[in-house]
Amino acid sequence: MAFEVTKDTVIGDILDYDATTAQFFLAMGMHCLGCPSSRGESIEEACAVQGVNCNELVDKLNKHLGN
């Protein structure tokens, strides 16, 4: 079963599953991916802070992961 990202998925879980997803977080301005607080945020929380459309990011991540 493939790893599917939702708005509630924790960023650290995504990065642990596939480190190549870091590029999507870096592109939206999250440059401290090693920070425990950023790794513990959900996609929705991170998008709210960064001013990024949550649904677009979820779609990009799932496409990248082959979903």
Strand partners, 24: none
Is 2 contained in some domain? no
Is 21 contained in some domain? yes
pTM for the full predicted model: 0.89
Which residues, including other chains, have CB under 8 Å from residue 19's CB and lie 6 or more apart? none
Cα–Cα nearest to 57, from 33, 16, 46, 19 = 46
The pLDDT assigned to 31 comes to 80
Going from the C-alpha of 1 to that of each of 15, 30, 67, the distances in angstroms are 17, 28, 10
For the record, the structure tokens of 53 come out as: 């459309």
For the record, the structure tokens of 61 come out as: 């991540």
Is 6 contained in some domain? no
Q: Which domain holds residue 41?
A: 11-64
The pLDDT assigned to 50 comes to 87
Number of structural domains in the chain: 1
DSSP state of 30: -
**Full pLDDT tens readout for the chain, 67 residues:** 579 999 999 999 999 999 999 999 999 888 888 787 888 999 999 999 889 999 999 999 999 999 8
